[in-house]
Amino acid sequence: MDVTISPSRVEGRARAPPSKSYTHRAILAAGYGGDATVRTPLVSADTRATMRFVDASGGETTLAEDESSLTVSGFDGRPETPEDVVNCENSGTTMRLVTACAALGDGLTVLTGDDSLRSRPQGPLLDAVESLDARGESTRGNGQAPLVLGGGMTGGSVSIPGDVSSQYISALLMAGAVTEEGIDVELETELKSAPYVDITLELLEEYGVDAEQTDEGFSVAGGQSYDPEGGEYEVPGDFSSISYLLAAGATAGAEGESVVVEGARPSAQGDAAIIDIVREMGSDVEWDRDAGELTVSRADLSGTTVDVGDTPDLLPTIAVLGAVADGDTVIENCEHVRYKETDRVSAMAEELEKMGASVTEETDRLTVHGGETDLTGATVDGRHDHRIVMSLALAGLVADGETTVTGAEHVDVSFPNFFETLESLGTSVRRDE
């Protein structure tokens, strides 16, 4: 599907979807346990992949008709052997989190995904699984899916790099809680995207599992059970998705009006940093933490420097803010952002250049020269990546002329009603199936 955005001014109230990161972990945590209900889950292509793994591994997930809750009957610690290959589609979070889970099984589980997912690195996590006396192999011997896992991982100590994906650590901590020995994780390098491990630790606590950060890395004791208080867990709003709504208000807000974003409840999400970034660039943002509401209005933005080592998903949003701002916006420490659904550093550089932006791309840095940029409508490629699609749509709000984003259906990964939400705020959106 292609979507065409016309220059628009936005105002009103909108609700961000629930957190994808928390939803993945909540579903799998419930799978590790007995019976639990996940309230206000994000139901998307990615999170359905995690549901599919739980179902294939001896659990059962049942989604309410209105999708407001998900009931999970878990597999009580040890997954069964799936009857068939488990397809994680495009969900890197699913594949990495369930890799360690699948290694707990006595039989063998095969995980695969789409072309993009089969090109993403899994090698360090496979090596960790092997060092914990389980089987973890890439069928092509290149550290990429399809993956073969099993052998009844029992726990122990493992070392792993922290600068490839924090999801490796999250996967080991979640699995380690149900092993006999527990798992101690020693980091070989500095941890990037650290707030995502904080999310895991927060969620584990909500499910009654003790895990902690240590001087060397992280540790989780074995022999624990997943059992949330009252048998329920409620997913908070997603700050990665909130970033697009905040950016829309800051760059395209109607004169004298505001955009109010609902669902912004405080949590361990590192992407809440978008609030301070937008403020630093010059927009007035008010956060009512008790109500979970953010209020933002349009302002003349100025360039800034942002380190995205811990917040890789914000890079596309910040790049668009930089294109609108006066002066340079420098996005640093971003090499790991190249290993997402697509190389998001190159993708944003190349697609914004099609719209007239002046951009300098380096290996671990992206500089957007806002003072040399006048955005013009163009046809841009969403790169089969939900975050690229949504960010380019934001650029279309303030470009001169219409902007057509191809592959726009990929917003279903994290923000299924993204374009309906933009329309509710006053954006002109045309869909071409």
| DSSP annotation string for 316-350 | HHHHHHHHHSBSEEEEES-GGGGGSSS-HHHHHHH
Q: Is 20 annotated as a binding residue?
A: yes
Cβ burial of 83 (10 Å; 0-12, 13-18, 19+) is: exposed
Q: Is 157 annotated as a binding residue?
A: no
Q: Can you give the pLDDT at residue 123?
A: 97
Q: Is 8 annotated as a binding residue?
A: no
User: Looking at residue 269, what DSSP letter applies?
Assistant: -
Q: Name, in order, each residue with C-beta under 8 angstroms of 416's C-beta and a sequence gap of 6 or more.
A: 17, 43, 44
Cβ burial of 85 (10 Å; 0-12, 13-18, 19+) is: exposed
Residue segments in the chain with a per-residue pLDDT below the cut of 50? none
- With beta carbons less than 8 A apart as the criterion, state whether 388 and 344 touch: yes
Q: Is 48 annotated as a binding residue?
A: no
Q: Can you give the pLDDT at residue 323?
A: 98
Q: Is 21 annotated as a binding residue?
A: yes
Q: Is 383 annotated as a binding residue?
A: no
Q: What is the pTM for the complete model shown? A: 0.84
Tell me which residues are annotated as active site. 313
Q: Name, in order, each residue with C-beta under 8 angstroms of 331's C-beta and a sequence gap of 6 or more.
A: 306, 308, 315, 318, 319, 322, 365, 366, 367, 368
Q: Is 365 annotated as a binding residue?
A: no
Q: Can you give the pLDDT at residue 433?
A: 76
- With beta carbons less than 8 A apart as the criterion, state whether 238 and 219 touch: no
The total number of residues shown for the chain amounts to 433
pLDDT tens for each residue of 305-342: 999 999 999 999 999 999 999 999 999 999 999 989 89
Closest CA to 304 of 294, 286, 313, 317: 317
Q: Is 193 annotated as a binding residue?
A: yes
In order of their start, the domains of the chain are 2-17+237-432 (3.65.10.10), 20-234 (3.65.10.10)
Q: Is 92 annotated as a binding residue?
A: yes
Q: Is 354 annotated as a binding residue?
A: no
Place of tokens 């969620």: 203
Q: Is 340 annotated as a binding residue?
A: yes
